[in-house]
Amino acid sequence: MDFGFTETQTMLREQLARFFRERYDFDTRQKMLAREGGRDPAVWKAFAEELGILGAGFPESLGGLGGGAVEHMVIMEELGRAIAIEPYLDTCVIGGHALLAASGPLAESLVPGIIAGDVIMAFAWAEPKSRYNPARIATRASADGAGWTLDGHKAVVLAAPWATHWLVTARTSGSPGDRDGVSLFLVEAGVPGVTRRDYPTVDGIMASELYFERSRVGPHALLGREGEALPLVEELLDRAAAATCAEAAGTMRRLHELTLDYAKQRVQFGQPISRFQVIQHRLVDMLMEVEQAVSMAYQATLRLDLPAPERARAVSQAKAKIAKGARFLGQAAVQTHGGIGITNELAAGHYFKRLTMLESRYGDQDHHLARLEALMMAEAA
């Protein structure tokens, strides 16, 4: 057994941590959110050109660094610490894995673009009525000559306004909820017939509603086999959930540090509030959640390559546990800060907002517990 990181992984973490310390502090981040488009594209360029991290999870044969899920985890933890808004999860974790799974000429044509920072991807899997079930979708794709025509509404597509390519799930047969009939398409942003409505999210990311109306895409847009994409979509969501666990662990660790610092310097009744036992115990309970979150992020990450049911169990356990811990920690951090914790002035409040969003991103606690119960029942049967 080995929970150590390789020298390369440690370097990756330190390099990224330094970048965030020096060029992505809280004030800088807030200024980026206020910019046209809601981000600073130079950061993504620096990820590609200065840090060279965008290829961390890709094979060397495609120009990557030959890493995998552990590298993603390290990067996501650091992004979480900085409450970054960069679309790494969307592009490199989800997009990267989808392209590698599809293999062939498409991956070869797009992966170098991702590594160079020119290609950004967004995953359009949710719909207004899907909740967290990727099979409960109504968007349709019909064969149209050599290509396909898409019709439907994809909801809260994170990073869609920034993306050059969208991964879109659509039904080629069946009805919402059916496991068969789900197909996955790679759609170039700006394809005719799509209305995009962009908005910021409460945690500072940009997202879109995508409305497809007789949108025509070519024959090569279909990734994998028609109607059989659900297992891949589920795997993408599991990888996204595991990466989100790592992100949350980083965000929780940092918010705990901020709260501890605050409690040490805030004086009431003639002493720092950190001297009060009620505050000490709360800070300890928070730390226990941080440590368990990190453990669960490892656990999920290291089991991503197992067969689907085992992978699902590992990821759902991690996400359910972290959703609960993130809520507790965020609320405890605000309560310990008092009024100042609810203002937009201090970083702590923004960490709380991000954690609140991470609770339910790629499935909330109820969703993952229900999935675990279903796995348990299937095992017992």
Which residues of this protein are in contact with other proteins, per CB under 8 A?
126, 128-129, 131-133, 136, 155-156, 176-177, 197, 199-203, 207, 209, 267-270, 278, 327, 331, 334-335, 338-339, 341-345, 349, 352-353, 356-357, 360, 364, 366-367, 369-370
- What Å distances lie between residue 110 and 13, 55, 80, 300, 346, CA to CA? 26, 12, 26, 28, 40
Nearer to other proteins, 79 or 156 (CB): 156
With H, G, I as helix, E, B as strand and everything else as coil, classify residue 203: coil
**Minimum CB distance to other proteins, residue 238 (Å):** 15
Nearest-approach distance from CB 90 to other proteins, in angstroms: 14
Minimum distance between the CB of residue 276 and other proteins, rounded to whole angstroms? Answer: 8
Taking CA 75 as the corner, what is the angle to CA 185 and CA 12, rounded to the nearest 5 degrees? 130
How far, in Å, CA of 139 to CA of 176, rounded? 9
Smallest separation, CB 379 to other proteins (Å): 20
- For the bound state, the minimum distance from the C-beta of residue 57 to other proteins, rounded and expressed in Å, comes to 26
Which H or E run contains 159?
Answer: none
Q: Which residues contact 48 (CB under 8 A, 6 or more apart)?
A: 54, 115, 116, 117
Whichever of 118 and 198 has its CB closer to other proteins, that residue is 198
Of 51, 72, 80, give the one whose Cα is nearest residue 9. 72
Nearer to other proteins, 61 or 265 (CB): 265
CB of 163 to other proteins, least distance (A): 17
Residue 71 or residue 203: which is nearer to other proteins going by CB? 203
Tell me the two tokens of residue 142: 């019909």
- Start-to-end Cα distance in the chain: 33
Shorter beta-carbon distance to other proteins: residue 51 or 155: 155
Task: Compare residues 196 and 220 and give the one whose CB is closer to other proteins.
Answer: 196
Helix axes 347-360, 230-265, angle to 10 degrees: 150
